[in-house]
Structure 1
Amino acid sequence: MSSDPGDRHDGSAAQPEPVVCARCGARADGPQPTWTFSVEDGARRHYCETCSRENLRAIEGRLDSQWW
């Protein structure tokens, strides 16, 4: 038996939490390659493809110059 605290003892596998867009609330069953991920004020945030595209200029504007 594993000592990992995330292990379930009833034999069922834990379901992954859905990913939710921090802007519009769109949901995905897992990480999506077209979504944007960021850490803002220590909080993890995901943005769907639509919100990422619509706000690309603002997203890039916050990057340090070392990234561009």
Structure 2
Amino acid sequence: MILTVLIAVLLLVLAGCACVLWAARGGPRWTHAVAKATVAAGHLASTLLRPGRSGTRSGSDSDDGGSD
């Protein structure tokens, strides 16, 4: 069952990528809509999966290991 879901997600991702490429080359109007949805889903996924998204990164730049 889980394999079927993963294959379906993989096929949707591949179809979305194909639409992005086709829309970039001037495809039909519907490919532009699918391409926008695919790019938006990619941005959303990368934002949600990015570590440290809670805003606690502000002190990480000052910690350069200078203390002996």
Please report the TM-score for the alignment, with normalisation by the length of structure 1.
Answer: 0.24
**Structure with more of its chain in strand, by fraction:** 1
> Rg: which structure is higher?
2
Please report the TM-score for the alignment, with normalisation by the length of structure 2.
Answer: 0.24
